[in-house]
């Protein structure tokens, strides 16, 4: 069970990086320009590629063409999910996204039924009801709260989760070779390469994204502070990506990685929101949930964990 270390620590870093991302969407990225955040992530993707090339050299290219293309496709799909994730953060906050993101195992279950022809057991059906009921509880309880999470935040998060899960499925399917570090480096290299290619295409076709990034991080009144947050967030997500992908490679059952990641991310988000919201309020954002909202999140979290256990 030692492989659990990778997705657990990866999820904690995703959560920490998510709050830096929350800060950026509050203070740097323009409304309606959430996709421009994807452009900034180029720094992390390129840094990962350079690091892999410097350590493994030409060995990263020693992979069948169909596997390389499939892994690049997984990276491209993941970038699309990241754009929707950033858009969701502009409407809600990281705690909201952590709750609504728990729909991922439900999406995995649905894709298994639609694509692989799998059947749903009674326990899985009950788990589905628990998770969706918890999410609807959060939406309906807070929909009247000004600035609170609503159906729009939930819908955007679901779309983001769909692309993230689809990326994981494609990545796992096209993994090549044995579970060693060289084969991991090869897979991660092409995953990052796919992320770079689709981001460059986005830069070419969406001039508004380029202008938004330039204004926020290189020319705006707070561009230096924004850039520091962006660089730290990039570094955090690179390490988190490596740990998560190692978990996918080493786990005996791939779907367990998503479940472990979601549970850890959920409770890490609630802990950071409560603790750091009091000690370092600027780290969280200006949209800190009230005590009543946090209690509602806690109730929802209990039902979500029960649902995840039943599904798996």
For every one of its 312 residues, what pLDDT tens digit does the chain have, with 9 covering 90 and above? 567 788 788 888 887 777 777 666 666 665 556 666 777 778 888 888 998 899 888 888 988 999 999 999 999 999 998 888 878 877 776 666 766 776 776 676 676 666 656 566 777 778 777 777 776 776 666 554 444 456 777 788 888 888 988 888 888 788 766 667 788 888 999 999 999 999 888 888 877 777 777 776 666 666 777 777 778 778 888 888 888 888 877 776 566 666 667 777 767 776 766 666 555 555 555 455 566 666 777 777 777 777 767 765
CA distance 19 to 98: 11
Which pLDDT does position 70 carry in this prediction?
93
Place of tokens 């290299």: 189
Which pLDDT does position 286 carry in this prediction?
47
The domain spans of the chain are: 2-311
Q: Please, which residues have CB within 8 angstroms of residue 134's CB and are 6 or more apart in sequence?
A: 99, 102, 299, 300, 301, 303, 304, 307
Place of tokens 């949209």: 287
Which pLDDT does position 195 carry in this prediction?
92
b/e string for 101-115 if b means 16 or more Cβ within 10 A?
bbbbbbbbbbebeee
Calculate the CA 73 to chain-centre distance. 17
CA distance 312 to 310: 5
Cβ neighbours, 10 Å, residue 278: 10
Which pLDDT does position 69 carry in this prediction?
94
Cβ(24)–Cβ(37) below 8 Å: yes
Burial status of residue 159 (CB atoms within 10 A of its CB: 0-12, 13-18, 19 or more) = middle
Instruction: Look up the pTM and report it.
Output: 0.76
Which pLDDT does position 282 carry in this prediction?
55
Which pLDDT does position 144 carry in this prediction?
45
SS3 149: coil
CA-closest candidate to residue 164, choices 278, 283, 77, 52: 77
CA distance 79 to 182: 24
CA distance 312 to 309: 5
């Amino acid at each position: 069970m030692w492989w659990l270390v990778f997705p657990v620590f990866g999820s904690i870093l995703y959560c920490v990086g998510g709050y830096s991302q929350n800060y950026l969407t509050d203070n740097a990225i323009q409304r309606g320009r959430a996709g421009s955040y994807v452009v900034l992530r180029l720094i992390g993707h390129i840094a990962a590629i350079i690091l892999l090339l410097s350590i493994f050299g030409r060995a990263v290219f020693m992979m069948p063409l169909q596997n390389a293309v499939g892994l690049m496709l997984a990276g491209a799909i993941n970038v699309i999910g990241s754009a929707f994730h950033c858009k969701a953060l502009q409407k809600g906050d990281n705690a909201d996204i952590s709750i609504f993101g728990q729909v991922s195992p439900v999406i995995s279950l649905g894709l298994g039924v639609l694509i692989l022809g799998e059947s749903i057991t009674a326990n899985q059906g009950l788990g589905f009801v628990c998770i969706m009921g918890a999410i609807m509880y959060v939406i309906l309880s807070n929909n009247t709260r000004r600035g609170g999470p609503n159906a729009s935040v939930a819908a955007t998060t679901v779309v983001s989760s769909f692309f993230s899960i689809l990326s994981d499925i494609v990545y796992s399917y096209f993994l090549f070779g044995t579970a060693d570090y060289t084969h991991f480096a090869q897979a991660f290299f092409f995953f990052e390469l796919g992320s770079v290619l689709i981001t460059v295409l986005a830069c070419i076709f969406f001039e508004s994204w380029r202008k938004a990034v330039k204004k926020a991080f290189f020319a705006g009144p707070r561009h230096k502070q924004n850039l520091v947050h962006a660089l730290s967030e990039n570094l955090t997500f690179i390490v988190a990506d490596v740990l998560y992908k190692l978990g996918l490679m080493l786990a005996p059952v791939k779907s367990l990685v998503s479940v472990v990641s979601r549970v850890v991310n959920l409770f890490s988000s609630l802990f950071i929101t409560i603790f750091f919201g009091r000690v370092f309020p600027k780290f969280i954002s200006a949209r800190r949930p009230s005590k009543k909202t946090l209690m509602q999140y806690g109730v929802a979290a209990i039902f979500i964990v029960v649902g995840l256990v039943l599904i798996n």
